[in-house]
Structure 1
Amino acid sequence: MKHLTRHITLVAALVGALSLAAPLAAQAQSFKAGFVNTDRIFREADGAKAAQTKLEQEFSRREKELVDQGNALKSATEKFERDAPTMSENQRNTRQRQLVEQDRDFQRKRREFQEDLNARKNEELSQVLDHANKVVKQVAEAENYDVILQEAVYINPKHDITDKVLKAMNGGK
């Protein structure tokens, strides 16, 4: 009898636990997650492509000037190396100082160019990301997603909603 009571108590506890677990299982099945690949957004969204074109136009003149200055410095250095044996020591030292100064100027301009380009690229990509995040939120709300991830170690391709987001960002519904 004692054994039977213990068995009935165990069965009752098990039934109670299952009744508590059933709503949790139902809730877990209704959880909906998605993933957005931001690298693809930055490559494929019309806004990202337009930003890239805008940056190329904005910085192409400065880039060409840097390339030209770098080529001129290289030519001047090669000429110096050819002519150095026939120059006086004073001429050699003077020309060497001029080349070092030209190289410093070139390196400074190249550094400034890269910093300016990076700053502008960050501004443009930030605008693209802001727009993407708004679209992701719209898709998430419209399709009842509980969470949308942008970074993941692994994602099952069936949860990738990047195509939907790109389509919405690029004007297609």
Structure 2
Amino acid sequence: MNVRTLSLVAAALVGFSQAAVAETKIGFVNSDRVMREAAPAVRAQQRLEKEFEKRDQELQRLAKDLQSMQEELERNGTTMADGDRRTKERTLGELNRDFQRKQREFREDLNQRRNEELASVLDKANRTVKQIAESESYDIIFQEAVYASPKIDITDKVIKALSEAK
């Protein structure tokens, strides 16, 4: 190939790639916003709050009891008999261990349930994004980006579609 033919092929390829880029339809979805604002995500959060409300209240009550017991021991410990003080300290230690165990179990259970709920919401969101992409002829939709122009952001559209879906 001579230089002139190579130049013509290169120019044709540049023109072709610019035309292809001009026809490419790109979208962006802010997944964090979807997981905070979409109706299924809000309902999931409400379910979690309701499901764990009693255990949370129990932990708060237990924490208050521990604090009261600690304050009483600090206030009256010096005037108590050694045996009574040791018994109170032992009871306080056992109650503290029980509280920490219950708190740890609560966090683990809450995290597991949150992950289950969020996985369900994420699955619905991904299906919705795919439906929008197919129906509106998007070539690609990004969910993570350092920067995305507002003109390609379809997050509101996804949130609306999720909120309208039953």
TM-score, length-normalised on structure 2? 0.93
Per the alignment, residue 96 of structure 2 pairs with: 103
CA RMSD of aligned residues (A): 1.4
Paired with 1:124 and 1:44, the residues of 2 have a C-alpha distance of 14
Deviation at 1:12, TM superposition (A): 3.9
Per the alignment, residue 131 of structure 2 pairs with: 138
Deviation at 1:158, TM superposition (A): 1.1
**Secondary structure at 1:124 match in 2:** helix
Deviation at 1:46, TM superposition (A): 0.7
Instruction: Establish whether residue 89 from structure 1 lines up as the match of residue 82 from structure 2.
Output: yes
Deviation track 1:34-68 (CA, whole Å, cap 9, x = no partner) reads 11111111111111111111111111111101101
Of 41, 65, 68, the match for 2:61: 68
Structure 2's unaligned 5+ residue stretches are: none
Per the alignment, residue 6 of structure 1 pairs with: none
Instruction: Establish whether residue 37 from structure 1 lines up as the match of residue 30 from structure 2.
Output: yes
Runs of 4+ that moved beyond 6 A? none
Of 73, 79, 94, the match for 2:72: 79
Structure 1's unaligned 5+ residue stretches are: 1-8
Deviation at 1:167, TM superposition (A): 1.2
Per the alignment, residue 21 of structure 1 pairs with: 14
Q: How many residues align?
A: 164
